[in-house]
Amino acid sequence: MTGSLRSLVRQQRRAQGTALAQAALAAAAVALASVLLLGLSGWFIAAAAAAGAAGKAAALAFNYLLPSAGVRLLAILRTVARYGERLAGHAAALNALAEIRPALFRALAAGRPETALALSSGEASARLVQDVDAVETMFVRLSAPWAAGAAMLAGLALTALASPIAAAVLLTAFVALIGLGRGLARRLAEEPGRAAQAGVGRLKDAVAAYLAAGPELVCYDLEAAALAAVLDRDEALGEAQLAALDAEAVLGALQAAITGLTVAAVILAAAGAGAPLAALAGLAASVALEGAAGVLKAFERSGAAEGAERRLDEILDVARSSSPMADPFGERRIRLPGGEELRPGERLAILGASGAGKTRLIERLLGLRTADLDGFAIAGAPLARLDVAFVRSQFAYAPQDARLLTGTVRENLALASPRAGDAEFWLALADAGLEDRVAALPRGLDSWIGEGGARLSGGERRRLSLARALLRPAPFLVLDEPTEGLDPAAEALVVGRLAARLERTGQGLILISHRPAPLRLCARTLRLGGAQPQVDAAQGAPAASGEE
């Protein structure tokens, strides 16, 4: 595990230290009680049989009450301790994940484009689900060494009662089991584990991509080809999982073989101490070696965990600039390509033919693509040297392709301003010309809009995206084709209300549009498509405040 995730996991281990300590102590108590229970049971059965064979007097003299009470006590102790281990261990893991998963999501959302935005939705989902689950397994199994250690100490103590040689045999077998198990796990399980973790991401990536293109696949009769591609990735994942199961079977066979041989050798070494002690030693040795199962399972899953850690580190290891803002509290002017500047409150339209790079340009400005050192700058500092989170905090963005959450109107609006109240939500909807439509929904702001906003029309989805952008407090509003798909009346309403809002708030505007009505909001234009971008005064004055 490298820097970022290691630091995050270490932090959560400290935060969950009490619960992890409780889980470790409970695991040790389970192992100790299990060894003592089986050893005492073996001794009790053998001693009772010997007393019965010795005659009536010996049988009557045999004290069976104390051993039977001990068996019951140990059984109850083991049950309670096992429950406590599960409760504390999983509580620690889940509480840790409640901090780790949001931290990963924040890093993914705020990361530099070459790292975060290079991930497909399927791959990002796999990292935030399957890879984090591997981290959960690490937390849950932190108690395994304590359980193995307690089981071995108890086993050594009981076998030593019968014979020191039996104890030495048990210790040798335990060391051999751990050593061989670790070696076989590295050889057989690590690579399949890593392949399975990566395979989940590739399968999710393919499924997400083909589902998004579902209508086209049906239209062009490509369902069979898409299914075949998905099944190929599923088959690769299945092969990796089968290889991991084969490794698990080999490790299980190793433990069973070593346990069987050890029990036979311990009983043979303890035979001189009598049948009751020999039975105690043999059963104690069996349970003591069984206590190593958790450690072997951790070895077996180390490959998957290491693969998960490597991919999660790619999210967390986001390069941050050490260069501070030239004037972090001063006027944050934007330098445009060609050296022109855009001051807060000014409005700029970006023009050019389709394919000229208008959307790419603003995506660089917003930190959604890698920015060149000689391109945009904020307060004199090149974007490429600024912290991505700071750059993005300067802009509220409504993209051309309006993406909505599967949820309610309120949940979509709250993305931009989680602490905003209903009054702010309704004002933003009004400024986007959508308040009447939302008010007519059965539950208003709490109305379900379907998967990706499927219950809304294309124009309504675009205006909801615009309202979301209007809620974000930022110096500049960046709009990419905000009125595309609207009829003239709806466009006039949106443009008029947007003009009034900009006059009221003093917010700056960077606009891409092929339609003349929105362009009248801007006093300057940036023309793309030539050898050098050109900044000119826009033709026509900005639209007057109020509705058109």
- Quote the mean pLDDT of the chain: 82
Contact 484, 518 (CB under 8 A): no
Any long-range contacts for 214-221 (C-beta under 8 Å, 24+ apart)?
none
- Please report the pLDDT score of residue 1 as a whole number: 42
Distances (CA, A) of 176 to 35, 184, 248: 20, 12, 18
- Please report the pLDDT score of residue 341 as a whole number: 81
- Please report the pLDDT score of residue 539 as a whole number: 44
pLDDT in tens, 75-121: 999 899 989 988 988 888 888 888 877 877 777 766 666 555 566 66
Answer yes or no: is pLDDT of 338 > 80: no
| Superfamily (CATH) of domain 3-316 | ABC transporter type 1, transmembrane domain (1.20.1560.10)
Tally of CA atoms within 13 A in the half-sphere of 513 that contains its CB: 25
SS percent in the chain: helix, strand, coil, step 5: 65, 5, 25
Question: What is the rounded distance in angstroms from the CA atom of residue 481 to the CA atom of residue 514?
Answer: 7
- N- to C-terminal Cα distance for the chain? 59
* CATH fold for the domain made of 334-537: Rossmann fold (3.40.50)
446-485 as b/e: b if 16+ CB within 10 A: ebebeeebeebeebbbbbbbbbbbbbbebbbbbbbbbbbe
pLDDT in tens, 187-246: 888 888 888 877 887 888 888 788 878 888 888 888 899 899 999 999 999 998 899 899
The secondary structure of 531-543 as a DSSP string is SS-EEEEPSSPPP
pLDDT in tens, 121-135: 666 666 677 777 777
- Please report the pLDDT score of residue 122 as a whole number: 61
Between β-strands 334-335 and 341-342, what pairing exists: parallel, antiparallel or unpaired?
antiparallel
Distances (CA, A) of 499 to 394, 406, 485: 20, 30, 19
Question: What is the rounded distance in angstroms from the CA atom of residue 151 to the CA atom of residue 33?
Answer: 9
CB atoms under 10 Å from CB of 169, counted, come to 24
Q: Give the start-to-end residue ranges of the domains of the chain.
A: 3-316, 334-537
Q: Percent of the chain beyond pLDDT 90?
A: 30
Task: Give the lowest-confidence range in 164-173, 275-284, 355-364, 468-477.
Answer: 355-364
Q: How confident is the model at residue 454 (pLDDT cuts 50, 70, 90)?
A: confident
Please tell me what DSSP assigns to residue 379.
T
Mean pLDDT of 456-485: 92
Question: What is the rounded distance in angstroms from the CA atom of residue 191 to the CA atom of residue 195?
Answer: 6
Contact 201, 122 (CB under 8 A): yes
Q: Percent of the chain beyond pLDDT 70?
A: 86
